[in-house]
Amino acid sequence: MISRTQPRRDSRSSPARTAIFTDPRSRALLEQIDCVAPSAAPVLIVGESGTGKELIARQLHAQSQRPGEFVAVNCGSLSQSLAEAELFGHQAGAFTGANETRAGWFETANGGTLFLDEIGDLPAALQVKLLRVLQEREVVRVGSRKAIPLDVRLIAATNVDLAQAVASGHFRLDLYYRLNVATFDLLPLRERRGDILPLVDHFVRVYSERLGIAQPSLPPETARVLREHAWPGNIRELENVVHFALLTAKDGAIRPQNLRFAAMPPRQDSGSSDAPLDAIGSQLDRLFATQPPQLYQSFEDLIVRRAFSYSGSNQVQTARLLGISRNVVRTLLKRIGIISNENVEESGDIPRAAGVRCVPDLISPGS
């Protein structure tokens, strides 16, 4: 008997699976869902991890009025050796361990909706077979020659750029076009802040009920901290923060000290030269949420200090590293207080690189 990845079946009654559409940008997404849901067209949902892609898929299924089930399968969890049998089914004796005939997830979702999460992780060989199923609207079990007609609405989701995956040869162009009939770009929580407090209220209700406690209040200072946090883990992070806060709140109110924001692990280097800048960008989002004073000045000082240290306190090397003139480096070092007029070393400047602006030029007062 083979083991099988268990999908998530339809659970519309679960209070934790409620989509929140309060922010104007989320309301605009809801209008798009209302237009697309009644059709049987494939849908591609793109968004960062934790933004609620499965919730949107469930919303589409709920509004489609399709009589069948909603079945969610994570492509990243499919066994490489048995993925075809799990998706398309298999006949008894088709391979070692196939002791009985079993329907795949496509047949299980027949008449309903099949949600393939992390579609970008699907192996290349399965991409070909998936494309054929979508084109022919029928499935052939492993070890069989009989085609089984299907009426399945496919919704796929990914947190990677599929267009880039196509360009790099990791995803089939024809399958991309087949999936990309209707695409929903799900914004990260930091870009739809109007959803934050309604989501907090929702999870407070859900977990208060589960824990069997009275719903605590949310003082203005706590609401401000929650609203201004960058939420790199999106809705999933928010849910965890609320859950922990309810476990530690003792006086009938959630205080800022009850909020525990997990430190984000370092990002895996994807091989892209933009990866370090992306990591810096994520940290900047956190800084923006806290609104520190004189952020630009502090960030400029930090760049100059680190470059000067990295260059062994050599002004010429620092200038080369930053792509600015030594005169500018010397002026910045004076302002920061690393050097004074008395200990400035007299040496020739290096030419400023063409087309490269010095740090103070990057943001003008009127921008």
Q: What is the pLDDT of residues 187-231, one digit of tens each?
A: 999 999 999 999 999 999 999 999 999 999 999 999 999 999 999
* Chain segment 264-295, per-residue pLDDT in tens: 654 444 444 455 666 676 667 666 766 777 88
In 3D, which of 205, 267, 192, 270 has the Cα closest to residue 231?
Answer: 192
Instruction: Decide: 36 and 181 in contact? Cβ < 8 Å.
Output: no
Strands across the sheet containing 8-9: 8-9, 70-74, 113-117, 153-158, 43-47, 182-186
* Chain segment 300-320, per-residue pLDDT in tens: 888 998 888 877 788 888 888
| Res 77 pLDDT > 80 | yes
Residue with tokens 């399945």, as numbered in its chain: 152
CATH 1.10.10 domain locations along the chain: 292-361
CATH class of domain segment(s) 8-187: alpha beta
What's the whole-number average pLDDT of the chain? 82
DSSP conformation class of 342: G
| Res 359 pLDDT > 60 | no
* Chain segment 35-55, per-residue pLDDT in tens: 999 999 999 999 999 999 999
Percentage with pLDDT > 90 across the chain: 49
Per-residue pLDDT, 202: 96
Torsion of CA 325, 329, 330, 332, to 10 degrees: 140
Half-sphere exposure in the Cβ direction for 274 (13 Å, CA) = 3
Instruction: Specify the length of the chain in residues.
Output: 367
* CATH tag, 190-258: 1.10.8.60
| Res 361 pLDDT > 80 | no
Task: Classify residue 77 by burial, with Cβ atoms within 10 Å: 0-12, 13-18, 19+.
Answer: middle
Q: How many whole angstroms separate alpha carbon 251 and alpha carbon 84?
A: 54
Percentage with pLDDT > 70 across the chain: 80
pTM of the complete model: 0.67
What kind of fold does domain 292-361 have according to CATH?
Arc Repressor Mutant, subunit A (1.10.10)
Element (H, E) at 289: helix 275-290
Per-residue pLDDT, 238: 96
First to last CA, the chain: 66
In 3D, which of 177, 6, 148, 153 has the Cα closest to residue 77?
Answer: 6
Q: How many whole angstroms separate alpha carbon 62 and alpha carbon 84?
A: 28
CATH 1.10.8.60 domain locations along the chain: 190-258
Element (H, E) at 70: strand 70-74
Q: How many whole angstroms separate alpha carbon 276 and alpha carbon 271?
A: 10
| Res 239 pLDDT > 90 | yes
CATH 3.40.50.300 domain locations along the chain: 8-187
Least confident range of 91-105, 141-155, 162-176: 91-105
